[in-house]
Amino acid sequence: MAIPTPVNSMITDAVTQSSVAVLGSAPAQAMGNVYQAAAHSLSVLFQNATQAQQHAAISAQAATNQGVMQLYSVPPMASAMSTAKIAQSDTPDFMMALMMALAASKK
């Protein structure tokens, strides 16, 4: 029970009990906020990963399109020679990077 005051002791007890309730629930609320922030950060991470994957797929498709356009724009014999060289190449990633650089330099 609270110290005797000019205020009714029942009122002071009620105020004290509500303060204890607030202090008792504070750690649970803090952990809830931590979990919610962690879940939000994780969802943003997955959204960014999905966007990066979509952009990579679009870039690969554009590089393939540029390569096909270049193959159709040269004479047939040169096209056959370049197709044979690309088919025998051990580094298709290098060829794609070259085509992307060529497309970027045309802009």
In a domain, 72, yes or no: yes
- How many other CB atoms are there within 10 angstroms of residue 67's CB atom? 19
Does residue 2 sit within a domain?
no
C-alpha 15 chain-centroid distance: 48
**Residue 13 forms part of a structural domain:** yes
Asked if the structure places residue 4 within a domain, the reply is no
In a domain, 42, yes or no: yes
Percent helix, strand, coil in the chain, to 5, is 85, 0, 15
What value, to the nearest 5°, has the Cα angle with vertex 57 and ends 54 and 60?
Answer: 150
Question: What's the domain range around 45?
Answer: 9-106
What's the confidence (pLDDT) of residue 98? 76
In a domain, 80, yes or no: yes
Summarize pLDDT for 25-81 with one digit per residue, the tens: 888 889 999 999 999 999 999 999 999 999 999 999 999 998 888 777 766 677 677
CB 16 within 8 A of CB 5: no
Q: How many domains does the chain have?
A: 1
